[in-house]
Amino acid sequence: MVNSLSSGLRRIVVLGTGGTIAGRAASGADNIGYTAGEVGVADLLGGIEAPAGVALVAEQVAQLDSKDMAFDVWLQLARRCAFWLAEADVAGVVITHGTDTIEETAFFLQVVLAAGKPVVLTCAMRPASSLSPDGPQNLRDAIAVAATPAAHGVTVVCAGAIHGALDVQKVHTYRPDAFSSGDAGPVGYVEEGAVRRLRDWPQAGGASKIPEAKAGATVRWPRVEIVTSHAGASGALVDLLLQERASGVAEPVRGLVVAATGNGTVHHALEAAALRAQDAGVAVLRATRCADGRILPKPGDPLRDAGALTPVKARIALMLELMETAAA
């Protein structure tokens, strides 16, 4: 490892978690029939030139398909990010990640880290074995963002665009430019290694809020489920969750996110069930299914709303809220 303090170099730490960017298929022409998480992060950095004055450090945190992302990996990532960000000579952290849940991981890290330096997640829509892989350019761009002076907060870099963790969503199933920041728009773009910023970097938190457990225990994540409001919706799934909760299962549902239509509207049958859940002590939050916009609350709304958060991000926010309440 380069002794950057003595050499005058700044370090950028690249944490690997697997994903398509580390995927491999039997044929270079196959961009969908690959196995994710096969190439190590150190190998992904092969052939990528560090920016001037920067040394790259690789660390493998996990090696999985991001559809299978787990809470313990989030904790490992948060702890490794906090460790490296505290090092004086570390300019920032880059995380290689699968596209399917990258927006969830980014949101989690934005909430729990006091990221006064940049934490940049990047990915690929084509595997490393592709005839035309997009991962190397995305990784190069992410490193450029992490090396940018005064950058901070958590972002996602893909196809030359820099997305804030609060706004980013995967919006396409296979296109290399698969992400959007909705009506908020991207933070900026990476153009031939240079960052062109359009708006402020994501706000850095005031203090780290990484979930911790008491000595000898493991972190207990409250169970929060998502149900969707749609034409002909019923409250059957919610009532089943309440029955399960009443039966004394080991991990009863503690929170519920309703993926609502439009401006937070919910089918009357599902809303009635959600209110029953709320009366039974389950925390309930509405989040809109719409890709753009936010829920504008009305006086007297019986169920809380998640504002601009998507259902999957609202779930994470509610989980962390319930954990804080339990720890108080």
Is 20 marked active-site?
yes
Instruction: Tally Cβ neighbours within 10 Å of residue 278.
Output: 16
Q: Which structure tokens are listed for 230?
A: 């749609």
What gap in Å lies between CA 240 and CA 260, rounded to an integer?
19
Q: Which of 17, 20, 96, 105 is catalytic?
A: 20
Amino acid at 212: E
**Residue whose token pair is 């995967």:** 170
Looking at 68-108, which runs of residues are DSSP E strands? 90-96
CB 47 within 8 A of CB 133: no
Bridge partners of 225, per DSSP, are 256
Bridge partners of 255, per DSSP, are 224, 283
55-74 as b/e, with b when 16 or more CB fall inside 10 Å?
A: bbbbeebbbbbbeebeeebb
What gap in Å lies between CA 10 and CA 116, rounded to an integer?
16
Catalytic residues: 20
